[in-house]
Structure 1
Amino acid sequence: MTLRTLALNALIGAAALPFGAQADVTLSTSNDPNAFLGAQVSQLLSHERDSVMAIETDTVAQVLANFKPTAKPMAPVQVEYTGAFLAEQPAASGGENWECLTQALYFEARGESVKGQFAVAEVILNRASSSQFPDSVCEVVNQGTGKKYQCQFTYTCDGRAEVINEKKSWTRLGKIARLMLDGAPRRLTDGATHYHTKAVNPRWARAFPRTASIGVHYFYRMPRA
């Protein structure tokens, strides 16, 4: 047992004594340990501390010299907007937000090209990233649900049951949802937060800057203040 350990044990033992007991060591009202350990003990502790610190410093230096990082930085998610690329991807799964995004792609864009499906996913994630919309994918997708034809995504408030009949489409769209949630770049729509089919001409589109035309959809960004 080192001198430092003995001294610290004595300090702990003294601190544990009840205030009314007769103790061999009188506790000082000062927070300075020199006041009750004594100058000689403090000097010995200081010498031992310096020795230990020197050893620890050498040890740390040796560890750092021999350290070889093994973790590789995470590579950005790379995507190609083709059916062949999606076919090579593993079957996807996920939690609530993955389910909501896959469902939105299924009912909003399953008849679109792969590029168009990625573009719709971008809009949903751009909304989730914007302070103007709810924070999560599921909240974005279901915003306004419950008011017929007053929701943000028609399939959630058109009164029809959401039934998944096309399993292959669901599997493919689930892969897109997984890639996008995992950080695939949003480079198709230039920050779009809205879209509509080319078959309609909503009034709001006149005030929103159009950012892209992909498949059967036009994409728009919210006007800047």
Structure 2
Amino acid sequence: MKFAAHLLTATLLMATPALAQNPMTDAMDAEQKAMETVPQGRLAALLKTPEAVASDAVKVSYTRDWLAAQPAGAGGDQFQCLAEALYFEARGESVKGQFAVAEVILNRADSPDFPSSVCGVINQGTGRKYACQFTYTCDGRAETISEPRAYARVAKVASIMLAGAPRTLVDGATYYHTTHVNPSWSRRLNKTASIGVHQFYVSPTRTASN
């Protein structure tokens, strides 16, 4: 909220002449314009309700038994995008590994270096074969979910993460790859974690939002 207040103060100073005519209306317009410049992921974090903050303190147990006891995953477009990405990118991983991949996707959505929504992050570069960020979106093959039980598990992970579960596994990582490959770009990044068959990395110039 302090960040939002600073934005409001700055925009009010810029709008001083107009405020003399209609202070309340112009102040509200200035605040709205300032808030529109903040990435959606970052804005959501700044304006969290007490309930959302409390949800961050919920302890997640990265076990199949714990996940099985959670309610079925559900949600809108962002949920669907995240659940699908986890299915194609990490369905064979452990529960911990699936949560780790979800953290990377959400970290990207909160970073000014990437699109500001989950769907935007996942579909970045889609349409250009092998130029996308998530290979399954541009490998030329149809995204067919043929393992409903695996999808049900990752859908729960997607719901839990979007509900505000803590991100403590990958130390702000915004990149990852499997241990089966050794991409050249990974040598320019800082490794933060190794979980299952995935290695996780963050840019050396990591931003405060991560």
Same fold (TM over 0.5): yes
Give 1:74-85 correspondences, 5 Å limit: 74-75=54-55, 76-85=57-66
Distance 2:172 2:205 in 1: 12
Question: Aligned partner of 1:129: which letter?
Answer: D
Q: 2:142 aligns with which of 155, 161, 164?
A: 161
Distance 1:170 1:77 in 2: 23
Report the alpha carbon displacement of residue 77 of structure 1 after superposing the two structures with TM: 3.0
Question: Aligned partner of 1:110: which letter?
Answer: R
Q: Is 1:123 the equivalent of 2:104?
A: yes
Structure with greater Cα Rg: 1
Question: Aligned partner of 2:148: which letter?
Answer: K
Give 1:1-225 correspondences, 5 Å limit: 74-75=54-55, 76-224=57-205
For the residue of structure 1 that corresponds to 2:192, the secondary structure is: strand
Residues 48-81 of structure 1: CA distance to partner in whole angstroms, max 9, x if unpaired? xxxxxxxxxxxxxxxxxxxxxxxx9544332110
Residues 59-111 of structure 1: CA distance to partner in whole angstroms, max 9, x if unpaired? xxxxxxxxxxxxx9544332110000011001121000000000000000000
Question: Aligned partner of 1:194: which letter?
Answer: Y
TM-score, length-normalised on structure 1? Answer: 0.67
Kept in 2, the 8 Å contact 1:192–1:219? The answer is yes
Distance 1:223 1:150 in 2: 23
Report the alpha carbon displacement of residue 136 of structure 1 after superposing the two structures with TM: 0.2
Determine which structure has greater relative contact order: mean sequence separation of CA pairs < 8 Å that are 6+ residues apart, divided by chain length: 2
For the residue of structure 2 that corresponds to 1:177, the secondary structure is: helix
Question: Aligned partner of 2:119: which letter?
Answer: C
Moved over 2 A (4+): 72-78
Question: Aligned partner of 2:72: which letter?
Answer: A
Distance 1:208 1:187 in 2: 19
- Number of aligned positions between the proteins: 154
TM-score, length-normalised on structure 2? Answer: 0.71
Residue ranges of structure 2 left out of the alignment (5+ in a row)? 1-49
Distance 1:90 1:101 in 2: 17
Kept in 2, the 8 Å contact 1:125–1:137? The answer is yes
Kept in 2, the 8 Å contact 1:77–1:179? The answer is no
Aligned-pair identity in percent equals 64
Distance 2:68 2:58 in 1: 16
Residues 31-56 of structure 1: CA distance to partner in whole angstroms, max 9, x if unpaired? xxxxxxxxxxxxxxxxxxxxxxxxxx
Residues 153-205 of structure 1: CA distance to partner in whole angstroms, max 9, x if unpaired? 00000000000111111111110000000110100000000000111111111
Distance 1:129 1:158 in 2: 26
Residue ranges of structure 1 left out of the alignment (5+ in a row)? 1-71
